[in-house]
C-alpha cells in the first residue's frame, strides 16, 4: 500500500473538517491497466438526522444506513435517473456523516477520462459530481468500497500541499439547509462546478 494513502483516522472526524481537508488531496481510480487521478477541488459535508439536506435526516434507511458505518468507505448512489454521486463516509462509526466530492482537477489518466466522458474538453470532464463519477467509471458497484484498503479507488496526499486558499459557501442543488456553509472549494480553480 502506498505511503501517501490517507488512513482511516483522517475520515473519523467531523464532516466539515474532512470536507475541508480533502481539498487538494488526490482521488485515484484504478481500472485494469490504467489509473486515473484527480485533485479534489470541491466538496460538500453532510451530517446525520440534524441535517435537513442529508439522506440521513429522516433516520436510518436501507440506502442511508451506510452513512452510519465505518469511516472511509464509499457511499455511491444514483439520482435523477442519470447520475451517480460519490461520497466518503465520515465521523465515528455509529454517527452519520459523509462528504460529497463535487469536482476534480484531472491529474493523470486524462485520456481514459475523456473516453469515458465522450471526448469532451478538459475542463468539463470532472467539474460536477455526476461528471466526475462518469469520468472515473464510478458506479453503484463502488458503493460500500473501503477506500482505506481498496486497490481500485483510494485517496492519497498530493506531492505538495495546496497553495490556493480554501473558501466555504452554502451547498449547491439542495432545497433544504441552504443557510449552512458546508461547501468547500479551492478559490479560483478552473475545474469547480457551476
Partner DNA sequence: GAGAAGATCTCCT
Partner DNA sequence: GGAGATCTTCTCA
What residues pair up with 39 in beta bridges, in sequence order?
26, 105
Angle between helices 110-117 and 129-136 (to 10 degrees): 110
Task: Kindly state whether residue 46 participates in binding DNA, applying the rule CB under 7 A.
Answer: yes
Cell numbers linked to 89: 463516509
Report the residue from 107, 110, 173, 192 that binds DNA according to the rule CB under 7 A. 173
Task: Kindly state whether residue 79 participates in binding DNA, applying the rule CB under 7 A.
Answer: yes
Count of Cβ atoms closer than 10 Å to residue 58 Cβ: 10
- The DSSP-derived string for 116-138 is HHTS--GGGSSSSHHHHHHHHT-
Radius of gyration of the chain (CA): 15
Question: If DSSP codes are grouped into helix, strand and coil, which group holds residue 147?
Answer: coil
Stretch that binds DNA, among 3-11, 15-23, 52-60, 180-188 (CB under 7 A): 52-60
State in angstroms the smallest separation of the CB of 12 from DNA: 18
Report the Cα 11 to chain-centroid distance in Å.
12
Task: Kindly state whether residue 112 participates in binding DNA, applying the rule CB under 7 A.
Answer: no
Task: Kindly state whether residue 82 participates in binding DNA, applying the rule CB under 7 A.
Answer: yes
Task: Kindly state whether residue 22 participates in binding DNA, applying the rule CB under 7 A.
Answer: no
What sign does the dihedral 44-48-50-55 (CA atoms) show? positive
Report the residue from 1, 3, 62, 94 that binds DNA according to the rule CB under 7 A. 62
Task: Kindly state whether residue 169 participates in binding DNA, applying the rule CB under 7 A.
Answer: no
Report the residue from 1, 32, 33, 80 that binds DNA according to the rule CB under 7 A. 80
Task: Kindly state whether residue 190 participates in binding DNA, applying the rule CB under 7 A.
Answer: no
Site map (CB under 7 A) of DNA, residues 129-168, x = contact: xxx--------x----------------------------
**Greatest CA span in the chain, whole angstroms?**
44
Q: Alpha carbon of 166 to those of 54, 98, 141: distances in Å?
A: 23, 19, 32
Report the residue from 7, 9, 50, 58 that binds DNA according to the rule CB under 7 A. 58
Give 93: exposed, middle or buried? Use CB within 10 Å, 0-12, 13-18, 19+.
exposed
Quick one: 77 or 95, whose CB is closer to DNA? 77
Q: Which residues bind DNA (CB under 7 A)?
A: 44, 46, 53-55, 58-59, 61-64, 67, 75, 77-83, 85, 87, 98, 100, 117, 120, 124, 128-131, 140, 171-175, 193
Amino acid at each position: 500500500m502506498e505511503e501517501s494513502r490517507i488512513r482511516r483516522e483522517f475520515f473519523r472526524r467531523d464532516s466539515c473538517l474532512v470536507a475541508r481537508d480533502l481539498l487538494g488531496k488526490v482521488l485515484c481510480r484504478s481500472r485494469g491497466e490504467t489509473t486515473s487521478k484527480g485533485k479534489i477541488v470541491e466538496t460538500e459535508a453532510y451530517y446525520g438526522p440534524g441535517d435537513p439536506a442529508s439522506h440521513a435526516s429522516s433516520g436510518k434507511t436501507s440506502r442511508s444506513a451506510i452513512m452510519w458505518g465505518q469511516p472511509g468507505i464509499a457511499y455511491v448512489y444514483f439520482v435523477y435517473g442519470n447520475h451517480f454521486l460519490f461520497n466518503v463516509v465520515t465521523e465515528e462509526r455509529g454517527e452519520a456523516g459523509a462528504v460529497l466530492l463535487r469536482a476534480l482537477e484531472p491529474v493523470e489518466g486524462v485520456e481514459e477520462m475523456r473516453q469515458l466522458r465522450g471526448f469532451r474538453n478538459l475542463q468539463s470532464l470532472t467539474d460536477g459530481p455526476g461528471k466526475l463519477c462518469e469520468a472515473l467509471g464510478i458506479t453503484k458497484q463502488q458503493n460500500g468500497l473501503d477506500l482505506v484498503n481498496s486497490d481500485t479507488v483510494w485517496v492519497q496526499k498530493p506531492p505538495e500541499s495546496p497553495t490556493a486558499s480554501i473558501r466555504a459557501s452554502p451547498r449547491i442543488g439542495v432545497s433544504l439547509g441552504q443557510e449552512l456553509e458546508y461547501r468547500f472549494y479551492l478559490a479560483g480553480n478552473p475545474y469547480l462546478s457551476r
